[in-house]
Amino acid sequence: MRTTQTMTISLPPALLQRFEEVRKAESRTRSELVREALRAYFEGRYPAVRATKAEIAALRRGRLAFRQGETLSLGQFLNDLEPATNRSRAKRLSKAAPKRPASS
């Protein structure tokens, strides 16, 4: 049983010429080059992972700060992406229990 299907496409002569130049330069088959082009197209247009609302909000804050001449460190940016419940807290020093004298 075939694991692939055949597809026929039409290309303008200039695009076909460019396609063949790239194919030959990269030593690829036509099928390999078309598959790679389709993968790149899909990843660019239809990403498998979508940004969360919090990530989009953080990006907007960063862009606004940039336009206003402010800077935002990578640490601050990444911290803004984490939900408040997952943020690391500063460790507190616990009061150690008084030491008992060693019994002899």
pTM listed for this prediction: 0.47
Condensed to tens digits (0 to 9), the pLDDT of residues 27-63 reads: 999 999 999 999 999 988 888 888 899 999 988 988 9
Greater pLDDT, 41 or 94? 41
Per-residue burial over 65-99, b if 16 or more Cβ lie within 10 Å, else e, is eeeeeeeeeeeeeeebeeeeeeeeeeeeeeeeeee
Please tell me the predicted confidence (pLDDT) of residue 1: 81
Residue 54 and residue 84: Cα distance in Å, rounded? 11
- C-alpha pair distances (Å), 36 with each of 19, 41, 60, 63, 80: 12, 9, 32, 32, 35
